[in-house]
Structures are given as C-alpha cells and as structure tokens.
C-alpha cells in the first residue's frame, strides 16, 4: 500500500491511498465497507475505485492544499481545539493577506522547514496562497507541489507575526 503522507498532528481530508490486489472476489465498491470495518474510527474510507497500474498516490499527485486555522477569539473552541490554534490577540488579517503573496511561486523554503528534516531539496512551488476570515477563524491556505516537514506551520507562524505587526 502507498499513501500520501502528512505531518503528525495534521488532519487530512481527501487523502488518497493505493494498493494492488490479485483477487477479484470482492467487488470494488465493497472495499471501503470492508476496510472501514477494520480501521480505527478516526480513519474512514469514503470510496474505492480501480485505477491505472501506473497511478501512485504519492508521486502522481499534482498539488496539495494545506489549511491552517487560527481561532482568533478570546477563549477558543472546546470542540475544535484539536483542529485549530487559538490566538486571543486580534490580528491584522489584511496585512496577512498581503504577506502571503510573497510565498507564491518557486522558492527555496530552507528557512521554513523543521530542523532535522530529511529532504535534500528544499525548493518547492506554491501555486496559490490565501488568508481569509470566517467569523473568529482566520484560515491560511497554501496549494503547492509539495511541502517540507512543518513548512505550513512555520509559514503560518510567520504570517501570525505579520498579523500582530512584528517587524
């Protein structure tokens, strides 16, 4: 089985996995039911389908999108505490929107990876970057051809610094 990877503590939506089987006893549309019966409740298979033999869930991907959510309210959320970062100081979202534009394009993101990262090449292409507010939540979205370990978290921290007007 091959699986697209993500950092520990990152919650993935729309993750794709692939594996090869030699048996055709189980119809493809029943695979998700069979797999879900064996998986933890925190993992769900929504669908299954036959793909070309050349498809690889990690190397065939054209882009990935990460969303980092900052709850910009005084107390945060008890329900979503595992999925967002609470920062109670009001942020300047307009400044953050301006700053994210500097990350778009092909750049060497060496300064935006965690120490000890095994990637030898730190050049990545960011196709799109957005900062938008939904009530008390500030969403940071980056779409690119790949990301270094903790890259989105570090970029989000940098944008947070911009939002509190750190120079």
Q: How confident is the model at residue 8 (pLDDT cuts 50, 70, 90)?
A: low
User: How large is the C-alpha radius of gyration of the chain?
Assistant: 19
Sequence ranges of the domains in the chain: 1-61, 64-163
- Write out the two tokens for 107: 């750049």
Distance CA 115, CA 72 (A): 28
Strand 64-71 to strand 85-86: parallel, antiparallel, or no bridges (unpaired)? parallel
Percent of the chain residues topping a pLDDT of 70? 91
Residues sharing a CB contact under 8 Å with residue 43, sequence separation 6 or more, in sequence order: none
DSSP string spanning 57-122?
A: TTTS---EEEEEEEE-SSS--SSSTTTSEE--S---HHHHHHHHGGG-EEEE-GGGS-TT---S--
Q: Which residues contact 162 (CB under 8 A, 6 or more apart)?
A: 92, 95, 96, 99
Which CATH architecture fits 64-163? 2-Layer Sandwich (3.30)
Least confident among 1-10, 116-125, 143-152: 1-10
If you average pLDDT over every residue of the chain, what do you get? 88
Helical axes 151-163 vs 93-100, angle rounded to 10° = 130
Local structure of 7: helix, strand or coil: coil
Query: pTM for this one?
Result: 0.81
pLDDT in tens, 51-98: 888 888 878 888 889 999 999 999 999 999 988 999 999 999 999 999
Distance between CA atoms of 14 and 9, rounded to whole angstroms?
16
Sign of CA dihedral 140, 142, 146, 148: negative
Looking at mean pLDDT, say which of 4-18, 55-69, 148-162 comes out highest.
148-162
Active-site residue numbers?
7
- Reported as a pLDDT band with limits 50, 70 and 90, residue 3 is very low
């Amino acid at each position: 089985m091959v699986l697209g990877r993500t950092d520990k503590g990152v919650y993935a939506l729309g993750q794709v996995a692939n594996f090869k089987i030699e048996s055709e006893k189980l119809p493809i549309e029943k695979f998700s039911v069979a797999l879900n019966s064996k998986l933890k409740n925190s993992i769900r298979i929504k669908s299954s389908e036959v793909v070309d033999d050349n498809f690889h869930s990690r190397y065939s991907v054209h882009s990935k999108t990460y969303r980092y959510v900052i709850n910009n309210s005084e107390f945060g959320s008890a329900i979503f505490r595992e999925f967002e970062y609470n920062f109670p100081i009001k942020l300047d979202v307009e400044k953050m929107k301006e700053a994210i534009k500097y990350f778009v394009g092909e750049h060497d993101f060496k300064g935006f990876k965690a120490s000890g990262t095994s990637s030898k090449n730190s050049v990545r292409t960011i196709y799109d970057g957005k900062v938008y507010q939904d009530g008390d939540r500030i969403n940071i979205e980056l779409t690119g051809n790949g990301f270094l370990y903790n890259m989105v978290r570090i970029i989000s921290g940098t944008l947070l610094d911009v939002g509190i007007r750190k120079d």
